[in-house]
Chain A
Amino acid sequence: MTRAPHRDWRYIGLVALGGAGGSAARHLVSGWSTAPLNLVSVTPGGAVPVLLLFPVGTFVVNLVGAFALGYLLEALSRRGRETVRRRKIRLGIGTGVLGGFTTYSALALETQHLLTQGAAGLALLYVVLTLVGGTTACLGGIAIAARADRHREQRSRP
């Protein structure tokens, strides 16, 4: 009897490796996507406009990650049965890299922070844009993978 993947240290190590890379990438991308806003906010002229509180970094990584996971899992499921190689890709890239790249804890903490700052409207805008945008991005990734797969099948026909 083979061990379930989540109890197999080789797969756990793979997910950890992917998660380390994904988390580091999230930190970088999140910093880059916030940078233009930081430039605006340090310009002289008094109070920081409320829109600058919008957590752009987390928003961007979550949408990009949802798109990529939709693409990856759809592409893998269309290739048929899960081989060992495909399982490694699914767990390493999907569960590890993309799972680590996206985050729910920051989304929750930032929303809570906006609420305690009295910016309830912005908090609502943030969560609605994230949920609707994330779902749309995920569906987009799935649709593109499905299209690519149909093209691949057409090409492979004589």
Chain B
Amino acid sequence: MIELLVVAAGGGVGAAARFMVDGEIRARHSGGFPWGTFVVNVVGSFLIGVLATLTFALVERGAPEDVASVLLLALTVGLCGGFTTFSTATMESVRLAQSGRLRLALANSLGTLAVTVTAAGLGMAVGGLFG
């Protein structure tokens, strides 16, 4: 039960942050490429790499495993999971393709994937520096 609560709390904060960040970016870049969702997904993927690595480092340094696992759930599954979104990214690509902008749609789908996976790797490396 505590697991579900911390995931929900992290996810709520993450989703609200995504809504605000996406809205601010959207207000500055109207039309064309969905930069808001792209930025949110890249930043969230970098963060999950950092946070997951740091939490595992905590356990190695002797932090209690139950505390670490609650922390991991709140920050990675909750916060980063709620902050990033696959459904909106997919929907935006589909809408771009439907409006005839197939190249932008492909660039969004493949670009988001490539950059987020790279960002997660970078995050793991950065987390390793501090862990």
Contacts and interface: CB of A to CB of B under 8 A. Distances in A.
Co-complex (A, B): yes
Interface of A: 4-7, 11-13, 15-24, 26-28, 62, 65-66, 68-70, 73, 91, 94-96, 98-109, 111-112, 115-116, 127, 130-131, 134-135, 137-139, 142
Contacts of A127: 113, 117
B15 interface: yes
B120 interface: yes
Interface string B93-125: 110000000000000011011001101110010
16 contacts: A16-B13, A16-B16, A23-B12, A23-B14, A24-B11, A26-B7, A73-B91, A102-B87, A103-B84, A105-B83, A106-B76, A106-B84, A107-B86, A108-B49, A139-B94, A142-B94
Interface in B53-103: 73, 76-78, 80-91, 93-94
A69 B83 contact: no
A4 B23 contact: yes
Contacts, number: 197
B85 A5 contact: no
B4 A138 contact: no
Given A70-B94, A99-B18, A105 B12 contact: no
Contact of B90 (A94, A105, A138): A138
Interface of B: 3-4, 7-16, 18-20, 22-24, 26-27, 41, 44-45, 47-49, 52, 73, 76-78, 80-91, 93-94, 109-110, 112-113, 116-117, 119-121, 124
Given A16-B16, A100-B11, 7 more contacts: A23-B81, A26-B7, A65-B86, A70-B91, A102-B88, A127-B117, A135-B93
A62 B94 contact: no
A27 B14 CA distance: 15
Contacts of A137: 90
A109 B3 contact: no
B88 A99 contact: yes
A108 B12 contact: no
Given A27-B4, A135-B94, A91 B19 contact: yes
A27 B10 CA distance: 12
A5 B7 contact: no
A131 B97 CA distance: 14
Given A6-B24, A23-B11, A131-B113, A102 B86 contact: yes
Nearest to B77: A27
Contact of A6 (B20, B109, B120): B20
Most buried by B among A17, A65, A100, A111: A100
Given A23-B12, A100-B15, A104-B112, A112 B49 contact: yes
